[in-house]
Structure 1
């Protein structure tokens, strides 16, 4: 069970899980050769453009936002289906990596922080 208020140790386990699952998947799939990366980026772009206008009024845990996060998880799963911890680790990667943070926050200045909370909620309740 995911902690309600995650500890730094739990969050670090999530970072490690994402790195391990991603490395394993890359090795097993010839660097994700099975993924149409262009289509993935188009689908994430469309999703983020749909999500961005909602950030100032919606709660990350709302059913509308969680439906969008389910789409995000589905897109991410084209690479490999991340575990609960690895999916949370992905949100942390968006926050920790300066290029990913810049990329996501270009859609909305609060995008990374919002995704972090929304993905945590989704992972806690659905994975």
Structure 2
């Protein structure tokens, strides 16, 4: 079915002048020009326009978009999967920002107290997933810096108390010992899930859901997920190349297995 430029503008929200500009630059050529001299678009052009809008949504400049677009279904799928990953990452970041807004609104209403450091939770890189935040060596080096700072200032507080006073709630920098303990916990969870796969257990089995429950509690050490954000996190585990590489090191099916278990856990315990 063919759609006129006016139809496409109404469906997509893209102005007529923008569509005309896309045609002039070759970014989006029409399917044909009708006998009424109007411009018409068909399904391939509508899909290309969607790709353009996705590219703009993730912050690409217009002159960068053209080389990114491909007409083959395989290339389109690859590009759209990348868009999906970027949007999931944005969703996780926005979730942290929403939590900060909710806490601030609650404080202004006199409903709860708010520590000063909580005002900035979710900004910058604070909303990133703990497994992607930093390497162990970076974390240890950062803690060494704070330890040296404490010594120079003659402070008697331990490293933990300093870190907790300088990081947002749920995002506080852990001591070296706590950080390594956290990594050991998640490694044990991954190994137990690997064993469950090898034993032929299903993601919804009570044994696996108990392990997923430990995963959820581990996540809560960093931020409090809703059902939606926990599901999105599960999808991110499957689709993000860094996560996939990490999970494949345990078992080639672990990313999907963990995601499926998280979907069930989100439905049962977070909805």
TM-score normalised according to structure 1 size: 0.78
- Whether 1:19 aligns to 2:93 is yes
8 A Cα contact 2:170 2:221, kept in partner? no
1:74 offset after TM fit, Å? 0.1
Q: 1:82 aligns with which of 213, 218, 225?
A: 225
Q: Which runs of 4+ in 1 moved over 4 A?
A: none
Which protein has greater RCO, CA pairs closer than 8 Å, 6+ apart?
1
- Whether 1:40 aligns to 2:194 is no
Structure 2 Cα separation of the partners of residues 104 and 22 of structure 1: 25
Aligned residue number for residue 257 of structure 2: 114
8 A Cα contact 2:170 2:222, kept in partner? no
RMSD: 2.5
Task: Report the number of matched residues.
Answer: 116
1:34 offset after TM fit, Å? 4.5
8 A Cα contact 1:18 1:82, kept in partner? no
1:114 offset after TM fit, Å? 0.5
Larger Rg: 2
Gaps of 5+ in 2: 1-83, 101-120, 124-166
What per-residue deviation string (whole Å, max 9, x for no partner) do you get for residues 87-112 of structure 1? Answer: 11111111121011110121111000
Structure 2 Cα separation of the partners of residues 43 and 26 of structure 1: 24
Aligned residue number for residue 60 of structure 1: 203
Structure 1 Cα separation of the partners of residues 95 and 208 of structure 2: 26
Equivalent residues in 2 for 1:85-100 (5 A)?
Answer: 85-100=228-243
1:22 offset after TM fit, Å? 3.8
TM-score normalised according to structure 2 size: 0.39
